[in-house]
Amino acid sequence: MHDIFRLGYKVSMSASETDTAELMLYGQIVEDGPKWWKWSEEDKSAAEFKKAIEEIREKGATKLLLRINSPGGVCTESVAMRSILGNAGFDEVNIRIEGMCASAATDIATLPGAHVAITEGSEYMIHNPWCMCIGNANEMEHTIERLRNIEEVSRGFYMKRTGQSEEQIKEWMDAETWFTAKEAVEYGFADELLEADVSNETPAAALAVMHDLYRSVPEQMIVSNGAGGPTEIDYSEKEENAMELGNITLEQLREGNPALYEQVQQAAVDAERERLSDIDALTIPGYEQMATEAKENGTSVMDFQKQLVAAMKQKGRDFMAARAQETAPAAEVAGGDPVSNTPTEEDEIKAEAKKIADMAAQMVSSQTGMF
C-alpha cells in the first residue's frame, strides 16, 4: 500500500504502515505566491513541493514514486524541486511520466539515480528557456546572458541523464524537440516504456493542443519511425482533424479522453495567464486603470500596447495645450527676458513632452522566454 499525496495535500492514506509514498506533479511549475493568484490548484511551487516532501519523510516513507504530467513552468523553481528531491534522503526514487513532461518539468526528470518510466502515448519535450523582457539595451543584454546560463544548466542535466553529446542536446533544444515515449527511452531521457493497449503515436487532437500550449511547436512533429531515429511526418490533414475535433463536445472529450480534456483546459489557462502577465509587464505608473479594464475586457496584448501608446501621446498633447494656454498672456507683455541660464516655460514644455515621448518609445517588448 502507498500513501498518496498531491504536493502537500493528502488524497488518501492506507491504514497500514508503509515505507513508500506517491507524489503527483500534475500542473504548472510556478513561483511561490498567494493562493488567489493561481489559476489551478494543481500548479505548485518549489516551496509547496518541499513542504510535501517533508511531510512524506516525517511519516516514515523511505521510497518515493513521483508522477509527472506537467507542461513545465518557471525554470528556477524546477531546478529547486530537483535539488529538494535529490537531498530528501529517499532510498529509492521512481519517476513516472503520465501524459506530458515538457520544458522545465524535464529538469526534475533528470534527477541522478532516479528510475524514469514513461507511459505509452506520453510526450517529452526539451527547448531553450524563454521569458518576457522590456527595457533598455543593457537590461535586454542582461536577460540574454541569464537565459544563456539557464540553457547551459539544462544542457548539463540532459547530457548527464542521456549520455548524449552537448552538440546533439543543443540541436534538440534549439529546435524545440518533442519526443514520443519510445524515443524518450531510446535517447536516454527515460529508462522504461510502460506499454498499454493503445497506439504510441501522438493523436492528431493532442497535436492541436500542443500548438496552443507552446509558442514554437514545429509544423512537423518529431515521431518515431521505428528504425532507430526520428522521422519528420507532415501532418497535412491537420485541418480535417481539427474539424473532427470541433464536432466533439467538452463533455464527450472529458469522458473519452480525460487527459486530453485537462490539456485543453490547461491550454486556455496558459493563454489567459500569459495575456494578463504581458499586460502587467507593459503597464507603467499612472495607467493602472487602463490595464485593469484591458484585463476585464479581454483586450489582446497588442491592442493594449497600441492603446497605451495612444494614451501617452494624447497626454503629451493635452499637456502642451494646457501649458500653451497658461503662457498665452505672456505674449501681451512688451520686451523680453534678459538672457540667462534659467529654463523658460517653453523649455519646460518641450522637456516634459520629450519625457512622455521617450516613455512611449520604451514600449517595445522582446519576447525571448524563460519557460
DSSP 136-148: -HHHHHHHHHHHH
Kindly tell me if the per-residue pLDDT of 197 is higher than 50: no
Whole-number pLDDT of residue 241: 46
- CB within 8 Å of 337: residues ≥ 6 apart: 344
Q: What does the pLDDT read at residue 40?
A: 62
How many percent of the chain have pLDDT more than 70? 65
How far is the C-alpha of 32 from the C-alpha of 44, rounded, in Å? 8
**Residue 288 falls within a domain, yes or no?**
yes
Q: What local confidence, expressed as pLDDT, does residue 308 receive?
A: 79
Predicted confidence at residue 125, as pLDDT, reads 96
- Domain annotation covers residue 73: yes
Domain membership flag for residue 252: no
Tell me whether residue 227 is in a domain: no
Domain co-membership, 192 together with 289? no
| Residue whose C-alpha is closest to residue 221's, from 234, 208, 212, 240 | 234
Q: Would you say residue 5 has pLDDT above 50? A: no
191 and 314 fall within a common domain: no
pLDDT at 356: 63
**Which among 174, 200, 226 is the end of a domain?**
200
For residue 222, tell me if it sits in a domain.
no
Q: What is the mean pLDDT of the chain?
A: 75
pLDDT interval class at 39 (50, 70, 90): low
> pLDDT tens digit string along 229-264?
444 444 444 444 444 545 566 676 677 777 776 777
Most confident of 129-138, 228-237, 271-280: 129-138
Do 156 and 64 have their domain in common? Answer: yes
Are residue 194 and residue 286 in the same domain, yes or no? no
Which pLDDT belongs to residue 236?
A: 45
Question: In the listed set 148, 168, 200, which residue is the last one of a domain according to the structure?
Answer: 200
User: Which of 30 and 17 is assigned the larger pLDDT?
Assistant: 30
Instruction: Judge if 48 and 182 occupy the same domain.
Output: yes
pLDDT given for residue 195 in this prediction: 81
What are the E-state strand segments in the chain? Answer: 3-6, 9-12, 20-25, 63-70, 92-102, 115-119, 123-126, 131-134, 177-180, 192-194, 220-224, 230-234, 365-369
| Residue 215 included in any domain | no
CA–CA gap between residue 128 and residue 370 (Å, rounded): 8
As a whole number of angstroms, the distance between CA 266 and CA 133 comes to 24
Domain end point (choices 200, 224, 246): 200
Report the CATH number that the domain containing residue 137 is assigned in CATH.
3.90.226.10
CA nearest neighbour of 97 among 9, 2, 194, 209 = 194
At 332-356, the pLDDT tens digits run 666 555 555 566 666 666 666 666 6
| Percentage of the chain exceeding pLDDT 90 | 36
Predicted confidence band at 267 (pLDDT cuts at 50, 70, 90)? confident
Q: How far is CA 202 from CA 116, 178, 212, 297, in A?
A: 20, 10, 15, 36
- Residue 231 pLDDT: 41
Longest dimension (CA), the chain: 100
- Across 167-171, 185-189, 249-253, least confident range: 249-253
One-letter amino acid of 366:
S
295 and 152 in a common domain: no
**Is 172 part of any domain?**
yes
C-alpha cell at 174: 534549439
* Contact between residue 343 and residue 325 where contact means Cβ atoms under 8 Å apart: no
User: Which pLDDT does position 84 carry in this prediction?
Assistant: 95
- Structural domain boundaries enclosing 31: 3-200
Higher pLDDT, 159 or 208: 159
Residue 3 identity (one-letter amino acid): D
| 52 and 146, same domain (yes or no) | yes
Please, which residues have CB within 8 angstroms of residue 305's CB and are 6 or more apart in sequence?
282, 363, 365
DSSP-derived secondary structure for 203-244? PHHHHHHHHHH-TT--SEEEEE-SSSSEEEEE-TTHHHHHHH
Please state the domain count of the chain: 2
If you search the block for the grid coordinates 502537500, which residue do you land on? 8
In this structure, what DSSP letter does residue 335 have?
S
Return the axis-axis angle of helices 301-327 and 288-297, rounded to nearest 10°: 150
> Does residue 311 share a domain with residue 196?
no
Q: Which three cell numbers stand for residue 13?
A: 492514506
Rounded distance between C-alpha atoms, residue 146 and residue 285, angstroms = 27
Give 264's contacts (C-beta < 8 A, 6+ positions apart): 209, 250, 253
178 with 299, same domain: the answer is no
Does residue 370 surpass a pLDDT of 60?
no
The closest of 31, 6, 3 to 17, measured between CA atoms, is 3
Would you tell me how many other CB atoms lie within 10 Å of the CB of residue 16?
A: 6
For residue 255, is it within any domain? no
Higher local confidence (pLDDT), 244 or 364: 244
Tell me what pLDDT residue 10 has: 36
pLDDT of residue 118: 97
